[in-house]
C-alpha cells in the first residue's frame, strides 16, 4: 500500500516552541507555566537530573494549577516497575543516579492527554521507559517535575520543554 500526498489533505505543520531551560539544582518542584491554548504536544527534556534522596520522579500537567490525581502511569527499568495515580512516574530509586531523556504528552481530545517516556543514566548505562494517561479539568497550561515524596531536593542537571 502506498499513500500519495497532493497537499489537499495535509494540515500546516506547527512551530515547535521552546521554553527556557531551568537548572535542577535546588527546590522540590520545577514548573513551566504559560503554555498557550491549542497546544497538542508537550515534551519535557531531562539533562543529568538527580535529587538528594531516593524518591521516584513525577511529571505532572495542569489546567490553572498542577493536577495531582487521576493519572494512570507506570515506569519500568530492568525487572523493577512502579505505578502512580499522582503523576507520570519515573522509576529512579537511587540518589546517586542522574537521568537524561524525555517525557512526551500528546493531546487525544476532550482534555485527555497520553504520555510516554524514555530515559537513561550515563553512570551505568541503565535505562527506563513507561507511559500513562490523564484527563485534565480544562486546557493544559503548565507542566512540572517533582518527586513522589515531595521533599527530596533537586541537586544536579537541567530541564526544558518543547510545545507545539
pLDDT tens column, 86-129: 999 999 877 778 999 999 999 999 999 999 999 998 778 889 99
Q: Which domains does the chain have, with CATH numbers?
A: 17-163 (2.60.120)
pLDDT given for residue 13 in this prediction: 56
pLDDT at 153 over 70: yes
pLDDT in tens, 1-10: 444 444 444 4
Q: How far is CA 85 from the centre of its chain?
A: 14
Please compute, for residue 140, the number of CA atoms within 13 A of its CA located in the half-sphere on the CB side: 26
- Alpha carbon distance 49, 99 (integer Å): 5
* Residue 141: HSE in the Cβ half-sphere, 13 Å Cα cutoff: 9
Amino acid at each position: 500500500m502506498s499513500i500519495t500526498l497532493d497537499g489537499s489533505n495535509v494540515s500546516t505543520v506547527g512551530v515547535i516552541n521552546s521554553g527556557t531551560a531551568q537548572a535542577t539544582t535546588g527546590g522540590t518542584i520545577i514548573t513551566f507555566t504559560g503554555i498557550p491554548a491549542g497546544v497538542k504536544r508537550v515534551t519535557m527534556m531531562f539533562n543529568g537530573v538527580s535529587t538528594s534522596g531516593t524518591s521516584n520522579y513525577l511529571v505532572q500537567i495542569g489546567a490553572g494549577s498542577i493536577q495531582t490525581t487521576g493519572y494512570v502511569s507506570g515506569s519500568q527499568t530492568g525487572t523493577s516497575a512502579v505505578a502512580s495515580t499522582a503523576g507520570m512516574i519515573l522509576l529512579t530509586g537511587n540518589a546517586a543516579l542522574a537521568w537524561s531523556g524525555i517525557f512526551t504528552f500528546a493531546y487525544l481530545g476532550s482534555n485527555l492527554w497520553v504520555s510516554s517516556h524514555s530515559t537513561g543514566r550515563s553512570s551505568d548505562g541503565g535505562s527506563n521507559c513507561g507511559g500513562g494517561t490523564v484527563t485534565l479539568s480544562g486546557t493544559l497550561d503548565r507542566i512540572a517535575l517533582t518527586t513522589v515524596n515531595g521533599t527530596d531536593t533537586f541537586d544536579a542537571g537541567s530541564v526544558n520543554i518543547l510545545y507545539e
